Structure 1
Amino acid sequence: MSSTENKQQARFELGVAMALREWDVLTTAVVNQWGGSESADKRDWMAGAVVDLFFESSEIDAELVEARLLQVMEDEFDVVVEDESAYEVSKLIMDMYSGVQSSDFSTVDRLYQKFLDREGCELKVDVKVQEDAEIDEELSGSDEEAPALVGSQNEQQQSTGPIVDEDGFTLVQSRK
């Protein structure tokens, strides 16, 4: 492999890694550790699996890349991606590949600079995912007793609001 080919391959590998870091679905899966404690390592492995596609087959297109992305998301993160985001990422990867082959690294450089600019920022993603069993339990109701909503009656009388007993009933008070 020539020096130019080595540079092109290295830049393409970097570009794929940066494209995957831009993918919100994958970022959410990694931050929330849907792939376990090694979720970040799985993302890096995923980048390698995508790069390998380009060396395994001479007939590569965005649909093949998308299929690999979707497969890894389901196998490694238990996520079924139903939006078009995987296809958008695969098109970006295909564009980068074409650019890198002609020594145009502008997209890779832009994504890498964006990554460096963000590196100092803390990423916080708060996503709640419910398992099917949790949803079924919510729909059927809970057998647990509801917690008390208010404090003691002395505290209630000090406030100007209504008095609610332990069962959740509002007590009727005299106006005095």
Structure 2
Amino acid sequence: MAASNSGAGGGPLSPEGAAALSEGVGLVFERWTALQMAVENQWGGRDSRAKADQLGASILSWFCHSKGPHYFEDLVDMMYDTISESFNADFEDGSVEEVAEQLLIMHEECQQRNYSSIEKLRNSRVPGNAVSQSRQIAADEDDDSDSSDDEGDTKMMDDEATQQQMAVDKPKPSKPAPDADGWTTVLSRRGRGKN
């Protein structure tokens, strides 16, 4: 982290390094749930996919064509500005900073011809995309909460039905009847139903 905060040096990328970084940016973007949701839900309009691709191209160009050092804060600011303009959104989940840090580390590694983090991403490719995975997680959580809600709803309906049956099944005494000793129990106003 210290290297990415102080700015990365290391010279220009080789053509092989630039190609690897391009692939790495794409792999990171595929796993970036907030960005994938913005694209799928067309927060940037019909060309949301193109806007996400343009963000990736801008980042790649920033790494390959701007003279270093490349500062973390500059990358984060550029990403926030582009997301705000392109998708009319602010990703407040901390993902912009996580992605920026990952991209800066990847860039430094590519400058040193070390492509291990990109290979790791390539080999850990998960089925589906980030959005469907997050939806699946949310659906699993919803299923758990729904089932307990359903049980609660059913119990509440059973309780209400029991109360209604109790009120309906019991005949209302027209007048209190005296007991064996001749005493009559008088119900309080609250206990009497409206006649």
TM-score range (shorter-chain normalised) is: 0.5 to 0.7
Bigger RCO of structures 1 and 2 (CA < 8 A, at least 6 apart): 2
TM-score, normalization: structure 2?
0.57
Aligned to 1:7: 16
Note the residue ranges of structure 2 that are not aligned, 5 or more in a row: 1-12, 136-160, 162-167, 172-195
**Measured at CA, do residues 114 and 31 of structure 1 come closer, stay the same or move farther in structure 2, by a change above 3 Å?**
farther
The letter of the residue matching 2:98 is E
2:54 corresponds to which of 29, 32, 45: 45
Aligned to 1:112: 122
1:97 corresponds to which of 104, 107, 114: 107
Which digits, 9 at most, give the CA deviation of each residue in 1:45-65, with x for residues without a partner?
111111111222312111111
CA distance in 2, matches of 1:75, 1:121: 23
CA distance in 2, matches of 1:122, 1:45: 20
Which digits, 9 at most, give the CA deviation of each residue in 1:85-137, with x for residues without a partner?
2111101001001111111111111222333x4258992666xxxxxxxxxxx
Aligned to 1:152: none
- Which of the two has higher C-alpha Rg? 2
**Measured at CA, do residues 7 and 93 of structure 1 come closer, stay the same or move farther in structure 2, by a change above 3 Å?**
same
1:83 aligns to what SS in structure 2? coil
2:127 aligns to what SS in structure 1? helix
1:118 aligns to what SS in structure 2? coil
Equivalent pair of 1:28/1:125 in contact (CA under 8 Å)? no
TM-score, normalization: structure 1?
0.63
**Measured at CA, do residues 45 and 114 of structure 1 come closer, stay the same or move farther in structure 2, by a change above 3 Å?**
farther
- Count of residue correspondences: 132
- Report the aligned-residue RMSD: 2.9
Equivalent pair of 1:35/1:76 in contact (CA under 8 Å)? yes
More helix by proportion, 1 or 2?
A: 2
2:124 aligns to what SS in structure 1? helix
**Measured at CA, do residues 24 and 120 of structure 1 come closer, stay the same or move farther in structure 2, by a change above 3 Å?**
closer
